[in-house]
Amino acid sequence: MQITPQDVLIVIDVQNDFCPGGALAVPGGNAVIPAIHRIAPLFQHILLTQDWHPPDHSSFASAHPGKKPFDTINLAYGAQTLWPDHCTQQTPGAEFHPDLRLPQAELILRKGFRRNIDSYSAFFENDRTTATGLAGYLRERGFTETNGTRIFFAGLAYDYCVGYSALDARRVGLPAVILRDACRAIDLNGSVADIEKQFLQAGVQLIDTADLSA
């Protein structure tokens, strides 16, 4: 697949807490970094996202007495998985992994900063309606399907923030392609199989970084 000047790469949540040794470590999470560095030079536009929670965030099990990480609870907008405290604003765990070097990135989009709503997707928070502003940003910059834009995704985690972001890209009318080997999954209670079923329905494409060319 040939990359064009209108294509955009979004690198999702390559932060210390999602890498080995972090609070919500994704198995092999740091392995996405060399894969991302390999393909980054093909793209004229790269955006980064950063999971960015306040210390008492409602997705933290610690905010719900009696609950444990990976339990599910009901919040105003529906079911929410509870996580260990992670990516707390202004802590080392929230910083990008120190090996990640993408100084050419044009935007760092922070998400999950509202105490009462989690945000897996870079486009919409977990109530599926509160916008992060990313759809408007892309549209105002002329990154539309009509103009030939496709959004490519890499990073962490495949079955949460990467997956929800790709599904929402489709929701706002953008072609979405996940670079599968530049992602790693949490795989909690069948989450990989669940999200891949949704990828099929929504038309999210899965490819490997080796399939990309200049």
Nearer to ligand VGL, 156 or 204 (CB): 156
How do beta strands 176-184 and 151-156 pair? parallel
Q: What is the number of other CB atoms lying within 10 angstroms of the CB of residue 169?
A: 29
Check if the beta carbon of residue 59 is closer than 8 Å to that of residue 74.
Answer: no
Nearer to ligand VGL, 61 or 157 (CB): 157
- 13 given a catalytic annotation: yes
CB 83, min distance to Zn ion, A: 6
Q: Which two tokens stand for residue 73?
A: 């609870």
Nearest in space to 64 (alpha carbons), one of 38, 47, 85, 86: 85
CB 35, min distance to ligand VGL, A: 17
- 183 given a catalytic annotation: no
CB 144, min distance to ligand VGL, A: 26
Q: Is 109 exposed, middle or buried (0-12, 13-18, 19+ CB in 10 A)?
A: middle
Identify whether 157 is preceded by a cis peptide bond (ω within 30 of 0). yes
Per CB under 5 A, 85 contacts Zn ion:
no
- What residue ranges bind ligand VGL (CB under 6 A)? 13, 18, 51, 83, 120, 156-157, 160-161
User: Which of 111, 118, 159, 181 is flagged as catalytic?
Assistant: 111
Nearer to ligand VGL, 94 or 149 (CB): 94
Q: Longest Cα pair distance anywhere in the chain, in angstroms?
A: 52
C-alpha–C-alpha distance, residues 173 and 171, integer Å = 5
87-126 binders of Zn ion (CB under 5 A)? 112
Check if the beta carbon of residue 18 is closer than 8 Å to that of residue 86.
Answer: yes
- 168 given a catalytic annotation: no
User: Which of 161, 168, 181, 183 is flagged as catalytic?
Assistant: 161
Q: Identify which range of 47-55, 63-71, 168-176, 194-202 contacts Zn ion by CB under 5 A.
A: 47-55
CB 24, min distance to Zn ion, A: 7
Which residues of this chain interact with Zn ion, rule CB under 5 A? 51, 112
What is the set of active-site residues?
13, 111, 161
